[in-house]
């Protein structure tokens, strides 16, 4: 097993002697096995779906990383204790700082290092607005049937909505968009049978 798992990130699936990790490759792999959610889309829709997935990766994911590793209050109170929790002292401190350094360098490379928290939240808002506008009144992003985009958006938004942070600014940004909230609730009810808990207003 250890030979198979090289540089593996969660989530990964293990089939026979193959290990496939992360959303994109897993979707590809499952598609090769004959299961695809986006087969019903035409070419333009497929292109749009991929573009919106990159929007989530580019803005929402980066904003989450920023909040997690570059906002000093969150870093002190949440990230370091949590990230270091599996390791004994002093490894917990060392690894946390190593990770923090790595992420901050990455932020610098993509031009986010100089951003303030307000600017990052503004970006989140812009991203949510785009998603909200794209979703409109449809049940899923491409009408009746869910696609991998819906899974990705649900994963991020649900996490944002249900995670307790030092302040609820991030959560509030998402809550401004009622159709996104309804979208998360719909997927939760339909596919997770209420085992997750999205607080109702």
Instruction: Please report how close the Cβ of residue 143 comes to another protein at its closest, in angstroms.
Output: 14
Residues 150 to 189 in contact with another protein, rule: CB under 8 A: none
Which of the stretches 71-79, 109-117, 155-163, 176-184 binds another protein when contact is defined by CB under 8 A?
109-117
Which of the stretches 11-19, 73-81, 85-93, 127-135 binds another protein when contact is defined by CB under 8 A?
127-135
x/- string (CB under 8 A) for another protein, residues 45-84?
Answer: -xxx-xxx-xx-xxx-------------------------
Residue 64 CA to residue 45 CA, distance in Å, equals 27
**59: Cβ contacts below 8 Å, ≥ 6 apart:** 123, 124, 126, 127
For residue 90, cis peptide bond before it (omega within 30 degrees of 0): yes
Residue 96 CA to residue 78 CA, distance in Å, equals 11
Residue 136 CA to residue 131 CA, distance in Å, equals 8
What are 178's two structure tokens?
Answer: 């009622």
Partners of 31 in beta bridges: none
State which of residues 18, 98, 133, 166 lies at the interface with another protein (CB under 8 A).
Answer: 133
Which of the stretches 80-88, 98-106, 157-165, 170-178 binds another protein when contact is defined by CB under 8 A?
98-106
Instruction: Please report how close the Cβ of residue 20 comes to another protein at its closest, in angstroms.
Output: 14
Which of the stretches 29-37, 44-52, 154-162, 178-186 binds another protein when contact is defined by CB under 8 A?
44-52
Kindly list the residues in this chain that would bind another protein in the complex (CB under 8 A): 7, 9, 43-44, 46-48, 50-52, 54-55, 57-59, 102-103, 105-106, 108-112, 126-127, 129-131, 133-134, 136
């Amino acid at each position: 097993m250890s030979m198979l798992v090289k540089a593996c990130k969660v989530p990964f699936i293990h089939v026979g002697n193959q290990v496939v990790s992360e959303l994109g490759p897993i979707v590809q792999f499952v598609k090769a096995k004959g299961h695809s959610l986006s087969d019903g889309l035409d070419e333009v829709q497929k292109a749009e779906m991929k573009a919106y997935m990159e929007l989530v990766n580019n803005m929402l994911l980066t904003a989450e990383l920023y909040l997690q590793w570059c906002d000093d209050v969150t870093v002190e109170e949440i990230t370091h204790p949590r990230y270091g929790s599996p390791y004994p002292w002093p490894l917990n401190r060392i690894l946390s700082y190593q990770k923090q350094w790595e992420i901050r360098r990455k932020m610098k490379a993509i031009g986010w290092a100089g951003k303030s928290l307000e600017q990052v939240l503004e970006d989140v808002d812009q991203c949510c607005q785009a998603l909200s506008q794209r979703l409109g009144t449809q049940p899923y992003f491409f009408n009746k049937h869910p696609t991998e985009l819906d899974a990705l958006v649900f994963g991020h938004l649900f996490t944002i909505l249900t995670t307790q942070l030092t302040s609820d600014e991030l959560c509030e940004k998402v809550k401004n968009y009622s159709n996104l909230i309804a979208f998360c609730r719909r997927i939760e009810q339909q596919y997770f049978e209420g085992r997750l808990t999205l607080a109702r207003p």
